[in-house]
Structure 1
């Protein structure tokens, strides 16, 4: 039985809502009978007489705790309503404060942490084969089928990223040198420096959805949004119609500046950068020599843009929704951020196969040491033990529309404020998205 005082002012109009703030008292196991001696309130000025209250003057008030209906934020019906509005299958109920990340990890089967070399190298074979098939399709496809070939090849090369991702988390092989070599090679076709990405990504896992410290994407700061008209316009386009390629900007800003890394990281960062620049210096001229500039666009640039579409989409779907808060470091809770703040999203089977189940993301945030081929078993365990707390979706237009038209500027009370609420005069791209994007889930 819980007693609750709730500040429940909210407005629900479709996908826009003001989250409920509730202050909860812990459950009480007694019968809920409390004695209040009003006479003691009159003795406030005399410390020595506070407990010497005459029984004749004492009045006993029996207060029986009556169950209070849960606030809308914790109501199953309300969460179902939000799920439908946002394009989710389920919005999880809030995880109790006393649950730790270790409590959740301890419920996972030990076998999901085991590295299987056969399965690991099978994933490499799948990616190499599907990427080669994609390049063959590009070489043979007529112009009107090229978009399909690029979509396949861009998705296939995303699998290379997932393999490097496992290597960075030390979940690909028991041999750490093999992991570093495979991770570096897997990232080369993407022009991604392996070590800089690994260092930044480790911080993302340690500080998931922490407002200033998370090295993945943040909500836009209002101060940043108001800083200059030119920057404001760029932000509106970047977090609006071009959001599915925003990872290109993140790639440029975060991975090539040595000043962003600790002194003990710089040496390894330089090695990764040298590998990337060598690939560009040798690979690009070779592609152009064999196929011309148009061949470079067809065989490398367009699949690379396809990869960034998935990189951006996976990242924003994993941690971005109107009900998922970013919190300051003093309010942040690891278990809540990793379990409640991460989204599982189902994609078409061919995407999940080529991308090695990177979309099964909640168990990956509970423990990054789980290999990609064990994520489904780990997720099944989480569903059995923590299912009511999980955020789950199937990739759909309404989900993407919610993220791209609502999740913009940080607000402590509402989590996000849409650009067109703050600055309608420069938010035509957002208005355009609202009008043209389908709304079916």
Structure 2
């Protein structure tokens, strides 16, 4: 090949394969950018070397491979044993509520002015207010943990893992979830769709990765003349330029022109990796993410029509056969809201009492379940698949087990985070059998099993900062940060062969 200013076009498959994968990736990005209106973000992509990233080997497992590794007795469900956990959880709810009922009387009887060592520094009224706030906050936090455990058991009812009886499962699940303002059947149906298509870019239900275009962001400016793989060999440059018909040269010329971002586009791009913005986003997600998902499909599929929600039986989420179940779920929500309204109206403490005893713990419960589900499926190491590369076994492994705050996860949250990989392989295994089943599954999965013992709040911050978007051109996608750099890449020796197990691709 001559080193002329314009390299001849590479037309044969053999010639195309000669280009390094990293260079081809850079060329593809340049070509895509060239087909836009020529505008770029002010942010420039950073170079990276794929061979220095964490290497992911695509699983080539069948459903039989996964299930056969689990001892048969782990699939056994016991209504009595499951109910014992419900009794324990509600006992904790009662004990915490009883303890909280002593907060105000105890503080009112305490003479802060005479007995408190802080009196020289804080007035008695301030001490009373701060102590009251601290004690009620502690109650809300602790009760929120117990509420979350009840939520997890109701979730197991939806998977029919509470007992062998569908009637018992749905009755208990409807009661527990309705008490926590969750539309039981409606969410059970959409959650089953999530399990049937986990990791599928166009069929998964929640925390679906977005591309830059879907987020309304302009293409990043290419990372200069050096290919994404870090190679600056002249032969590579020639091959890439030829491969895209000069698109790389064209993109370099466009870089010299003003990006012509609008003010809104500049702000959106700038906020992508702004720490304060990310912190505020976390607060909003943790407070409102769950109700917004139920009400308006927040973080769900963008191709769902406007107005998609979990309360309308005509929503795209449901079939005609689900209509009565959705309405029954709505009735459960209405009954709980009516009970809360009656409580606030008839009690001497009014709605302030409802807020202290129920709403504050309810918000903590929402926080935990959003954080749990977000971190289960949002991580730089978790793949997401297009329709032609997805299979059920691969999708089931698109999650990560996390150690959740010491004893909180295993005992109060019933291991929903520590055994989540197993839960996606077989959701009918009850939580008290999931530990043994998970250990057996780990042995079978080997390198395909993903787990983390990192503090979950650290993981939440890292994921929020690094999991920004995916590339629509990738068959197997990994999140990239604001500068277009992933933390994981498909290993060169990993195959894309179709799985012989249960496939649910489009």
SS in 2 for 1:307: helix
Quick check: 1:334 aligned with 2:377? Answer: no
Distance 1:116 1:268 in 2: 25
Residue pair 2:158, 2:188 contacting (<8 A) in 1 also: yes
Look up the match of 1:402. Answer: 462
Kindly state the Cα deviation for residue 244 of structure 1 after the two structures are TM-superposed: 2.5
Kindly state the Cα deviation for residue 17 of structure 1 after the two structures are TM-superposed: 8.9
Look up the match of 1:131. Answer: 93
SS in 2 for 1:183: helix
Q: How much is the aligned-residue C-alpha RMSD, in angstroms?
A: 3.1
Distance 1:250 1:357 in 2: 24
Distance 1:400 1:158 in 2: 18
Of 349-358 and 304-313, the range deviating more from structure 2: 349-358
Look up the match of 1:268. Answer: 325
Q: How does 1:339-418 map to 2 (within 5 A)?
A: 339=397, 341-347=398-404, 348-359=406-417, 360-396=419-455, 397-412=457-472, 413=474, 415-418=478-481
Call closer, same or farther: CA 1:17–1:378 in 2, change over 3 Å.
Answer: farther
Look up the match of 1:164. Answer: 154
Count of residues in Structure 1 that have an aligned counterpart in Structure 2:
346
Distance 2:134 2:78 in 1: 42
Larger strand percent = 1
Deviations 1:5-48 (CA, angstroms, capped at 9, x unpaired): 9725799xxxx99684xxxxxxxxxxxxxxxxxxxxxxxxxxxx
Distance 1:323 1:349 in 2: 25
Deviations 1:183-207 (CA, angstroms, capped at 9, x unpaired): 0001122111100001000000000
Deviations 1:48-92 (CA, angstroms, capped at 9, x unpaired): xxxxxxxxxxxxxxxxxxxxxxx555xxxx56xxxxxxxxxxxxx
Out of 99, 102, 118, the residue aligned to residue 140 of structure 1 is 102
Of 407-416 and 112-121, the range deviating more from structure 2: 407-416
Q: How does 1:13-412 map to 2 (within 5 A)?
A: 20=50, 72=52, 78=54, 93-97=56-60, 99-141=61-103, 142-226=132-216, 240-245=282-287, 246-253=289-296, 254-260=309-315, 261-290=318-347, 291-339=349-397, 341-347=398-404, 348-359=406-417, 360-396=419-455, 397-412=457-472
- Identify which of structures 1 and 2 has the higher relative contact order when contacts are C-alpha pairs closer than 8 Å and 6+ apart: 2
Residue pair 1:225, 1:232 contacting (<8 A) in 2 also: no
Residue pair 1:155, 1:351 contacting (<8 A) in 2 also: no
Residue pair 1:288, 1:296 contacting (<8 A) in 2 also: no
SS in 1 for 2:385: coil
Question: Can you give the 5+ residue segments of structure 1 that lack an aligned partner in the other structure?
Answer: 21-70, 80-92, 423-441
Quick check: 1:7 aligned with 2:50? Answer: no
Of 410-419 and 169-178, the range deviating more from structure 2: 410-419
Distance 1:232 1:101 in 2: 42
Residue pair 1:209, 1:327 contacting (<8 A) in 2 also: yes
Residue pair 1:239, 1:408 contacting (<8 A) in 2 also: no
TM-score, normalising length from structure 1?
0.71
Residue pair 1:138, 1:298 contacting (<8 A) in 2 also: no
Residue pair 1:407, 1:416 contacting (<8 A) in 2 also: yes
Kindly state the Cα deviation for residue 240 of structure 1 after the two structures are TM-superposed: 4.0
Distance 1:337 1:94 in 2: 14
Call closer, same or farther: CA 1:18–1:285 in 2, change over 3 Å.
Answer: farther
Question: Can you give the 5+ residue segments of structure 2 that lack an aligned partner in the other structure?
Answer: 1-18, 27-45, 104-131, 218-261, 297-308, 486-506
Residue pair 1:243, 1:404 contacting (<8 A) in 2 also: no
Distance 1:205 1:241 in 2: 27
